[in-house]
Amino acid sequence: MRYEGPKKTDGKIKANPAKIDKSSTSFQLPYQSALLALKAHISYDPHHILTTNWSSSTSVCNWVGVTCGSRHHRVIALNLSNNGLVGTIPPYIGNLSFLVNLTIRNNSFHGSMPNELSHLYHLELLHFGYNEFSGEIPSWIGLLTKLQHLILVSNNFEGTIPSSLFNSTSSLQEIGLEDNQLWGSIPSSIFKMSTLKVISLAKNKLSVPPEVGNLTMLTDLYLDNNNFEGSLPSSLFKCKQLQYLDLESNNNFKGKLSPEVGNLTMLTYLNLGYNNFEGSLPSSLFKCKQLQYLDLESNNNFTGKLSPEIGNLTKLTFLNLGLNHFEGAIPSEIGNLQNLKIFNLGMNNFVGTIPLDIFNISTLHGFSMVGNHLSGTLPSNMGHFLPNLEWTFLGMNELSGMIPASISNFSQLVSLDLSGNSFSGLIPKTLGNLRLLQHLNLEFNNVTIESSELSIFSYFSNNAYLSILDLSRNPLNGVLPNSIGNLSTFFERLDLTGCNIKGNIPIDIGNLSRLTYMSLRDNDLAGSIPSTIGRLSMLEQLSLSGNRLKGPIPTDICYLGRLGELFLDGNKLSRHIPESINNLTSLRSLNLAFNQLTSRIPSSLWTLTDILRVDLSSNSLSGPLSIYIGNMKVLTELNLSRNQLSGHIPETIGGLISLVNLSLAANQLEGSIPISFGGLVSLVVLDLLGNSLSGEIPKSLEGLRYLKYLNVSYNKLRGEIPTQGPFVNFSAESFRSNDALCGVVRLNVPTCTEASPGPKKAMGVRILKYVLPALGLTILIVSVVLVSRKLHGKKNSKLSNNKDSMPLSTWRRISHQQLLQATEGFSANNLLGEGSFGSVYKGTLLDGTYVAIKVLNLELEGAFKSFDIECEILGHIRHRNLVKIISVCSNIDFKALVLEYMPKGNLEMWLYSNTHCLNMLHRLNIMIDVAMAIEYLHLGYSTPIVHCDLKPSNVLLDEDMVGHVADFGIAKLLSDGTSLTQTMTMATIGYMAPEYGSEGIVSTRGDVYSYGMLLMETFTRKKPIDDMFSSEMSLKRLIEESFSLSILEVIDSNLLSNENDYVAMETCLSATMGLALHCCADLPEQRIDIKNVLAKLNKIKLKYLHDQQSG
């Protein structure tokens, strides 16, 4: 709650109505001089109040903002509030010795408070709030013994609070120092001030002594947003006059809420949100029957059932219990709170049905129960008794049944969120009667529409203010009608992803002139893209991917000046890329892959110097690459593979220092690999497979420290393969089928010799050039015949046990031959990476589905066991944050897992590149995804599963940057639910828990340790085994020591350059790294469990979002 200062100062400036005779004002000259000095120190007076009114030709008592006493006509009050004045306070103001009220709130006065103000002995009210004063709070304020109200809120004062403010002769009743930069302990002398009624010290960095209970007259205490820690002082509950208590966002208050809180029977406002309280709520809290505002949000450790006694708090208007661990049923007694306007029970563990009595609270303006486990149906008459309802959020529950048509009676409804449930049946037409509706989210349900034509849009056209409509992932099974163009003139966001929509995109869609986001991806749309989309001048994101659209790309799209993301991939678009594409100057991501585009890439494309990602792969584009490709200095991803490009690779590509992923594979490029590629300092992936490149592999590539994947196979390269830098880690798969490469034995190429081959050797090479292909072809034919027979004889030897344990909806029978076809014979072109027990390939099944195929190297020790473990675990579990298994293929001499394909790679790739910059929210979301996956493994299955190898490379990212945990090759099932011991540890050094490395003890707490290390690495961009760490310094110790300085000293510098709100970021990072250290405690029993990790991280994220919005 924002502290506004004393109610008696309304901030309005009034001239004294008494008219003073000019001839009687000679005794006022000292006052006039002081006030004219103040006027001279005003550098900006936007309303010209002082300029035009404060004149020596009139009495000061007639000046605006000046009040004189009625008897002696002395200046007793000066109020210049809310005038936008800029300036400083001159020392001459100290000459206004009879001032009782000095108020200049809400201006831009700066500098320090002059010492001469200490002469104002009659001052009762000093209000300098909402200015820009700086320096320390003057100790001379303590000399003003008649001062009752000291308000210095929202300035830039720093240092400690001087104890001299609170001397024994002070008359202070109210002190407001909120929102400065004060630190240290609150002086204990403040708690000897028996006259104090209001204390506001919020938004500083203060700590509190225990003497607060001595303030028996205290009515208002605002201590939110400080550095308090430990339990609440028990003496606080002796302040029986207390009405307002705000301790929000201190982060370190902990322990249980004392039953003594029931002593505060006068309490009307209580805010303990964003702390670390735990345990159940004491029943005495519900004896505070004067409570009107109760906020316990985001403590995350309040647990237990919500007592029916909450129904005793009948004066409540605001109730917020969101983001905790409350469980059990929601008590029906909440229906007794007939004054309630807003309540939030979201993000808890409530189960059961929603009490019907809640829908009888006619005063409700909004309620949220999002993110619980609520089930059952919504009452059909729910809309009849809530005439004032403006918003309701019931998303992410387990609600079912039909959406009640009576919702249309919520005539004031602005936002409705029913997403992520199991609602079915028809979307009510009556939603169109909600004239004030702005946001409607029904995504991820099973609702549909009445007819094959989506007539529902004609009803939505009655929602005059509708701006956001999300019906994605529902089986609408219809055709978009022209009436979609009649939606509200305020309409901004339309998401119909994955709704099985057929037919054409209606031309009237161009009428949605304020649209900023439109996704129609993953449907069955056909026909051409209407040129009317070019009328959507506000559009920032357009996704039409994964449909059957054909024809040319309309040039009209190229005049959408605000378009930042354009996704048209996975269609049947043809002809050329428009030359006018250079008009899309705001474009950051362009994906036209998997279409039928032809002709040359327009040179105008390369003028988009701010674009980050370009994917034109799998088309029929031809011609040479332009040298102007080097203009795209911030480009991070360029994929031109599987086209018909020819000519030489331009040297200018080497200047793209931000490039992370470069694929020119499967084209007709020739000439040498440019030496300038050594300048691609951020490069992680370089794929040049399947061209006609010749010459040597440049030594300059040895300097690419982040390069993880290289493929130059199927070219005409010669000479020695470089051996330094990233080449140490490459395998033979990177260099297959070239003319005359040589190098180390492990690369399956001849050893290099110093002398060039003589005539006879050269003749032998020429003979082999013709003989070997024929011999190879013969061997290949024989092998295929043998493999076919073996497959025929073993076609029923698949892992039936694993198949049976998978849901039938996802099981697919895939043969070895199909895998060969999907990967083009396990072509290096499709190699995604290599792990401990084999290689992972990208494959495309006959129906166009992308998959990742993990092929086990059965010659490696442990490969068979790894395969069995992954089959057993992945075949039994399903979670949105675990990589899903689609099928297995298992024969005597071939074993492979067919997994869900993750197009965005892994977390390690994104962290260790200078261009794949993940912002704070990306990192928080990914780590929450990982925590949810681990929570499921530990708690969501009958037998706890320990992953044993959490690290960035095992966190894969899908198209939406959602994290998925992968690689269960060394995972363990804990049959007794606690721990087991093994003799050989195979986890990754730096991430494994101490007890795992030294004693082989496997437990869920070991995963928590690994998670903590992963959390540190994600935000610091420092590996636990970096060269900077030694026996004396580790990543964990580095984090611990950073708390004495600033956490910003050790975090990834990319975050500093991509975030604006450093205060919110530092608060977030401190909490996150503190949580990471808690995960990494040396002793397993001291570590937090993953359930609480997830809860705390969700709290940290929500506070970060809150701080950003309020900042």
Q: Which ranges in the chain are annotated with CATH 3.80.10.10? A: 598-754
C-alpha of 48 from chain center: 46
Q: Is 146 annotated as a binding residue?
A: no
What are phi and psi for residue 548, nearest 5 degrees? -125, 35
Q: What is the mean pLDDT of the chain?
A: 86
pLDDT value, residue 487:
86
- Say if residue 130's pLDDT is above 90: yes
Q: Which ranges in the chain are annotated with CATH 3.30.200.20? A: 773-900
Q: 895-900 and 850-856: which strand pairing?
A: antiparallel
Pick from 796, 860, 789, 848: nearest CA to 822: 848
Active-site annotation holder among 224, 949, 967, 1107? 949
What are phi and psi for residue 484, nearest 5 degrees? -60, -25
* 972-993 average pLDDT score: 64
pLDDT value, residue 791:
36
Q: Which ranges in the chain are annotated with CATH 1.10.510.10? A: 907-1108
- Max mean pLDDT among 200-214, 678-692, 906-920 falls in 678-692
How far is the C-alpha of 170 from the C-alpha of 147, rounded, in Å?
A: 7
How far is the C-alpha of 511 from the C-alpha of 539, rounded, in Å?
A: 12
pLDDT band of residue 17 (cuts 50, 70, 90) is: very low
* 691-716 average pLDDT score: 95
- Look at 997 and 94; give whichever has higher pLDDT: 94
pLDDT band of residue 758 (cuts 50, 70, 90) is: very low
pLDDT value, residue 24:
43
Range scoring the smallest mean pLDDT among 192-206, 259-273, 382-396, 784-798: 784-798
Query: How many angstroms separate the Cα of 475 from the Cα of each of 444, 571, 997?
Result: 10, 21, 50
Give 907-1108's CATH code, choosing from 1.10.510.10, 2.40.30.200, 3.30.9.10, 3.30.1130.10.
1.10.510.10
Q: 101-103 and 622-624: which strand pairing?
A: unpaired
Q: Are 447 and 419 in contact (CB under 8 A)?
A: no
How far is the C-alpha of 886 from the C-alpha of 879, rounded, in Å?
A: 13
Helix, coil or strand: residue 956 = strand
Q: Render pLDDT for 765-783 as a digit per residue (tens, 0 to 9).
A: 443 444 444 444 334 433 4
pLDDT value, residue 169:
66
Does the annotation mark 949 as catalytic?
A: yes
On the 0-12 / 13-18 / 19+ scale of CB atoms within 10 A, 627 is middle
Q: Are 619 and 596 in contact (CB under 8 A)?
A: yes
Q: Are 268 and 292 in contact (CB under 8 A)?
A: yes
Strand runs labelled E in 809-950: 831-834, 838-844, 850-856, 885-890, 895-900, 945-946
- Max mean pLDDT among 149-153, 736-740, 792-796 falls in 149-153
pLDDT value, residue 995:
83
How far is the C-alpha of 93 from the C-alpha of 87, rounded, in Å?
A: 14
What single DSSP character describes residue 643? Answer: S
C-alpha of 429 from chain center: 35
Q: Render pLDDT for 249-288 as a digit per residue (tens, 0 to 9).
A: 876 788 899 999 999 999 999 999 988 899 999 999 999 9
Mention every residue, 6+ apart, whose C-beta is less than 8 A from residue 7: none
Sheet holding 132-136, edge to edge: 42-44, 86-87, 108-111, 132-136, 156-159, 181-185, 205-207
* 150-155 average pLDDT score: 96
Mention every residue, 6+ apart, whose C-beta is less than 8 A from residue 370: 346, 347, 393, 394, 395, 396, 397, 417
CATH number given to 598-754: 3.80.10.10
What single DSSP character describes residue 345? Answer: -
* 616-640 average pLDDT score: 94
* 542-565 average pLDDT score: 96
On the 0-12 / 13-18 / 19+ scale of CB atoms within 10 A, 793 is exposed
Say yes or no: domain 773-900 is CATH 3.20.20.70: no
Residue 140 token pair: 């001379």
Range scoring the smallest mean pLDDT among 144-153, 434-443, 972-981: 972-981
- Say if residue 739's pLDDT is above 70: yes
- Say if residue 949's pLDDT is above 60: yes
- Say if residue 95's pLDDT is above 90: yes
* 143-162 average pLDDT score: 95
Q: Are 567 and 594 in contact (CB under 8 A)?
A: no
Helices (H), 838-954: 863-874, 907-911, 920-939
How far is the C-alpha of 86 from the C-alpha of 538, rounded, in Å?
A: 39
pLDDT value, residue 1:
57
Helix axes 1004-1020, 1090-1110, angle to 10 degrees: 30
Neighbours of 639 (CB within 10 A): 21
Tell me which amino acid residue 376 is.
Answer: G
pLDDT band of residue 460 (cuts 50, 70, 90) is: confident
- Say if residue 15's pLDDT is above 70: no
Q: Are 1076 and 924 in contact (CB under 8 A)?
A: no
